[in-house]
Structure 1
């Protein structure tokens, strides 16, 4: 039995006439009659009564047609579902990201992806660069967004693309002495209590800040001490309380647009490690491909770099 036999039987039940059913199907009447007869022999039951008034389903035919309708509907749905999955319109995407990615990159890319593919199941988790890289290599994530290119064992298995660049700014409360200044120097920062990302969360950034602000791992503590904050919102909140000077990417201006906060440029300008999107080179997921397509559309400056990375993967 084939799907065409089901369509033939349904057409005959609808038109109640072999000639009209054959015309609707686009075939000749004799082949239709032959196929219906062969179907009845295969099932061992008469599906239609042939009368002078027309062709009508028997009790066996009614039972068969009810199942045939459902079977054809399921086959049509299977074809549709397969196509949607192949286009990345269904499935799952697991994304690990640092908090600052929500200030600039993800609102546009993730927002567009969700609108275009509402049926994709998203697994989103804020995590440090080191943790997201490990999770990506372990197959627990599909995409990781962090500061700096992944390093260490297994990094060669990843495609890593720069998706953003930023520089360092200082955040202070409205009552802080720096609040009236447009900029602060590195020398001024060395004497302040600093609010920074934890070394175990962002070791690349933490090591870089330590080198920048003083020699040796204890330099910031000797100067003015430091407080660790795991995301830019905590940095801003602590700075507003007068705890100290927060240090973070310039994109945090979006979250720091409040009357009790001032943002100062750091002089000379200090470039932060690049914001990098990474994924496994051998990952052929249509959902991942769709997310990368959305990234191209929403981030024009990233498109060329992404193409180079994908070219290397191919």
Structure 2
């Protein structure tokens, strides 16, 4: 089988049609180059060049080899480039999970920034709640997630996180509700003690639900759950339908829900933090992951934040 070096030598000869000039281009003596071409002809069992004291023309076999040599060397160069880029996190793929609340306020910025600097990395994005993302990360079905903190305690030793957005939970009330005052005065969390609540299933966002329940307990009550929904947008839709009250991130209060009033909270149990974070396996050595974390301003050695 011909080596890449032999193909390079042959191309230099065909492009200059001179052993002397080809040898100068290759920075080698002429006799070894002439011997190399003869050895190629012997290996292949064909004549590649028509020559007397000088090269006159390529044979048909020589023309075929010239084209194939160009393709082979170009592919070899491409393989080398792509391998280097993969090692630098510039190619490959990333499986990214994200909570729905990140779609409007965080995901587009992270994705656009990364794709501009790493256009050859294939992104496979899947919407899923924090609980499912945690399982998928631990089972190597995701490379990185955008989750709501805190994560379940059993994930702390294996998953690192980096907070990328901070907010606080506020009360979301039907517009016609008696507590939906137009004033911006904070509402005591305890004022919601006797209201029907819309809450997400505990297994979908265990850390956040635990924080809400703990806040309510500190305020002296347990919420009466009337409806459950997974996505914050769905929860707000149910609030707009006057099916109950809910706690949602303050950032949703600027997105235009005409039939929903948003009230900041005060008193025992408040404030209730809402933190979106990047999450990834601590033992993941993927270059593409490292590149994404760098693009997002995170670092692979980040630790869970509380």
Q: TM-score, normalized by length of structure 2?
A: 0.86
Report the counterpart of residue 201 of structure 1 in structure 2: 204
Deviations 1:99-148 (A, max 9, x none): 22334332322221123223322222222222211111111111123223
RMSD over aligned Cα atoms: 2.7
In structure 2, how many angstroms separate the alpha carbons of the residues matched to 1:84 and 1:48?
38
Which is further off, 166-175 or 279-288?
A: 166-175
In structure 2, how many angstroms separate the alpha carbons of the residues matched to 1:144 and 1:82?
26
Equivalent position SS for 1:194? strand
Report the counterpart of residue 125 of structure 2 in structure 1: 124
Report the counterpart of residue 144 of structure 1 in structure 2: 145
In structure 1, how many angstroms separate the alpha carbons of the residues matched to 2:242 and 2:249?
19
The CA deviation at 1:93 is: 0.8
Pairing 1:263-278 to 2, within 5 Å after superposition: 263-268=262-267, 269-272=270-273, 274-278=275-279
Structure 2 CA distance for partners of 1:152 and 1:307, relative to 1, 3 Å: closer
In structure 1, how many angstroms separate the alpha carbons of the residues matched to 2:216 and 2:283?
40
In structure 1, how many angstroms separate the alpha carbons of the residues matched to 2:123 and 2:191?
44
Asked if the contact 1:18/1:32 (under 8 Å) is kept, the reply is: yes
1:252 aligns with 2:262: no
Report the counterpart of residue 96 of structure 1 in structure 2: 97
Report the counterpart of residue 135 of structure 2 in structure 1: 134
Equivalent position SS for 1:230? coil
Structure 2 CA distance for partners of 1:89 and 1:96, relative to 1, 3 Å: same
Which is further off, 148-157 or 113-122?
A: 148-157
Equivalent position SS for 2:157? helix
Aligned residues: 298
In structure 2, how many angstroms separate the alpha carbons of the residues matched to 1:105 and 1:47?
61
Which is further off, 286-295 or 58-67?
A: 58-67
1:188 aligns with 2:191: yes
Which is further off, 61-70 or 154-163?
A: 154-163
Report the counterpart of residue 299 of structure 1 in structure 2: none
Structure 2 CA distance for partners of 1:260 and 1:14, relative to 1, 3 Å: same
Asked if the contact 1:172/1:179 (under 8 Å) is kept, the reply is: no
Which is further off, 78-87 or 189-198?
A: 189-198
Asked if the contact 2:18/2:54 (under 8 Å) is kept, the reply is: no
Structure 2 CA distance for partners of 1:220 and 1:157, relative to 1, 3 Å: closer
Pairing 1:9-20 to 2, within 5 Å after superposition: 9-20=10-21
Between Structure 1 and Structure 2, the one with more helix by share is: 1
Q: TM-score, normalized by length of structure 1?
A: 0.84
The CA deviation at 1:23 is: 3.0
Asked if the contact 1:100/1:251 (under 8 Å) is kept, the reply is: no
Pairing 1:61-76 to 2, within 5 Å after superposition: 61-76=62-77
Report the counterpart of residue 237 of structure 1 in structure 2: 237
The CA deviation at 1:291 is: 0.6
Where does structure 2 lack aligned partners over 5 or more consecutive residues? none
Deviations 1:8-41 (A, max 9, x none): 2112222222223223333332232122122222
Pairing 1:204-215 to 2, within 5 Å after superposition: 204-214=207-217
In structure 1, how many angstroms separate the alpha carbons of the residues matched to 2:226 and 2:250?
20
Where does structure 1 lack aligned partners over 5 or more consecutive residues? 297-302
Structure 2 CA distance for partners of 1:13 and 1:200, relative to 1, 3 Å: same
In structure 2, how many angstroms separate the alpha carbons of the residues matched to 1:208 and 1:18?
79
In structure 2, how many angstroms separate the alpha carbons of the residues matched to 1:52 and 1:262?
93
Structure 2 CA distance for partners of 1:112 and 1:244, relative to 1, 3 Å: same
